[in-house]
């Protein structure tokens, strides 16, 4: 009985082996290239689709398969499966998605019909493989007008910050420089105009003159209506410190920082007569004045009356041309009564009565004649020296 049982077992085992051998012999041998990895496969699958399922390969509609899924399996069949991936392409922030089996940035963009110029900015290199995030970022280049001080040019840029743009252009901002209308963190756009204002601040120290004041005191020994210089005035000196602000080489501001008086001015002291005398039919004039400057007319009764500081000059003084600002030739007309005035105080062409000089015409100007100052024309240098500096009463007649 035992021998019979063993015989049955042996027969069954033999049948199993024979069946296994026959089963294996019915398999078909194919080559599978899955994403670049090649393997040999023996299979009973009837179609390519069944084979891929046996290999636990999930096929999506975008994958590339050769031959097609419904192709029948035969010995020696070569099957290629390329798994696609979804890639996000961002151009100036606008995103689009593509399906591709390509791995290099250049090939992906070419497949998507997207061109990149030399002025565009690409985070990844064209010849590099796409990263794990499957994203390509492109910033399109555009032209920007750049004005650096007085220099102007058009350059290429992308949507970057003003600070990065200036750094890329090799432009450094100094302490007081500024970018007109922009903060350094602002983003450039195709309509941007970047204007760099070069600001320079320098210190300038200037010595100016200080005008003296006029002090008048009453003098009972001097005839009423007369005035006499007691002490000649002397201008002082003041040092002024300015901050000069220049923009692109042009002065735009001059700010006073400090003042230091180097020399105090000395006031002009004038004695004003208060002594009254009995009326006389003859008008009295100081001999020294009347002899030097005989008046051409009596004092007029009307006119705009005020006091001025009077000096004297000749037609032959150093730097003098002999011709007044209004065109009068004094050398050819030495007898004329002419005074130089500040036109903002006395209009040129006005008739002016000057105490001790007479009626003259305001026909000249002078660099030192400012405010209530006049310069009397005389015929000789001796007369000018003898006159000196006086405070006189005048009347503007017309």
Per residue in 163-173, pLDDT (tens digit) is 999 999 999 99
When comparing pLDDT for 186 and 14, which is higher?
186
Residue 187: φ, ψ to 5°: -95, 135
Q: What is the pLDDT of residue 381?
A: 87
Q: What is the pLDDT of residue 299?
A: 81
pLDDT at 267 over 70: yes
For the stretch 339-376, pLDDT in tens is: 999 999 999 999 999 999 999 999 999 888 998 999 99
Peptide bond into 67 cis (omega under 30): yes
Q: What is the pLDDT of residue 1?
A: 57
For the stretch 128-164, pLDDT in tens is: 888 888 899 999 999 999 999 999 999 999 889 999 9
Strands of 142-148's sheet, edge to edge?
A: 151-157, 142-148, 193-197, 178-179
Question: What does the block give as tokens for 116?
Answer: 């990149």
Report the sign of the C-alpha dihedral through residues 156, 158, 159, 165, in that order: negative
Q: What is the pLDDT of residue 11?
A: 58
Averaged over 327-345, what is the pLDDT? Answer: 91
The kind and range of the H/E element at 387 are helix 381-387
Q: Please state whether the predicted TM-score (pTM) of the whole model is above 0.85.
A: no
| Least confident span in 47-51, 62-66, 293-297 | 293-297
CA dihedral 250, 251, 252, 253 (to 10 degrees): 160
When comparing pLDDT for 282 and 310, which is higher?
310
| Domains of the chain (ranges, CATH numbers) | 2-82 (3.10.20.30), 85-139 (3.10.20), 142-197 (3.10.20), 201-213+230-268 (2.20.230.10), 285-396 (2.40.40.10)
Averaged over 66-80, what is the pLDDT? Answer: 88
């Amino acid at each position: 009985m035992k021998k019979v049982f063993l015989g049955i077992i042996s027969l069954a085992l033999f049948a199993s082996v024979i069946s296994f051998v026959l089963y294996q012999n019915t398999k078909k041998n194919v080559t599978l290239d899955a994403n670049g990895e090649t393997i040999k496969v023996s299979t009973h699958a009837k179609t390519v689709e069944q084979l891929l399922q046996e290999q636990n390969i999930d096929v999506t509609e975008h994958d590339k398969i050769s031959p097609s899924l419904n192709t029948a399996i035969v010995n020696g069949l070569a099957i290629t499966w390329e798994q696609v991936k979804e890639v996000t392409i961002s151009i100036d922030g606008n995103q689009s998605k593509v399906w591709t089996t390509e791995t290099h940035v250049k090939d992906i963009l070419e497949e998507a019909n997207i061109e990149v110029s030399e002025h565009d900015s690409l985070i990844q290199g064209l010849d590099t493989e796409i990263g794990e995030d499957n994203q390509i970022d492109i910033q399109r280049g555009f032209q920007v007008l750049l004005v650096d001080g007085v220099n102007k040019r058009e350059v290429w840029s992308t949507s970057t910050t003003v600070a990065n743009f200036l750094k890329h252009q090799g432009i450094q901002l100094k302490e007081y420089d500024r970018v007109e209308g922009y903060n350094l963190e602002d983003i450039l756009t195709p309509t941007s105009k970047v204007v760099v204002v070069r600001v320079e601040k320098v210190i300038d120290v200037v010595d100016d003159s200080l005008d003296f004041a006029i002090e008048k005191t009453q003098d009972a020994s001097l005839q009423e209506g007369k005035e006499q210089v007691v002490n000649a005035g002397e201008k002082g000196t003041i040092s002024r410190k300015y901050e000069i602000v220049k923009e692109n080489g042009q002065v735009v501001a001059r700010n006073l920082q400090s003042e230091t008086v180097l020399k105090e001015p000395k006031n002009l002291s004038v004695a004003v007569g208060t002594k009254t005398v009995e009326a006389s039919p003859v008008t009295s004039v100081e001999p020294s004045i009347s002899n030097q400057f005989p008046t051409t007319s009596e004092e007029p009764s009307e006119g705009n009356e005020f006091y001025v500081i009077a000096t004297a000059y000749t037609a032959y003084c150093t730097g003098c041309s002999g011709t007044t600002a209004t065109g009068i030739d004094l050398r050819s007309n030495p007898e004329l009564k002419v005074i130089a005035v500040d036109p903002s105080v006395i209009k040129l062409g006005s008739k002016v009565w000057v105490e001790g000089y007479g009626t003259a015409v305001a026909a000249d100007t002078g660099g030192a004649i400012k405010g209530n100052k006049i310069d009397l024309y005389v015929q000789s240098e001796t007369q000018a020296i003898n006159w000196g500096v006086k405070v006189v009463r005048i009347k503007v007649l017309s």
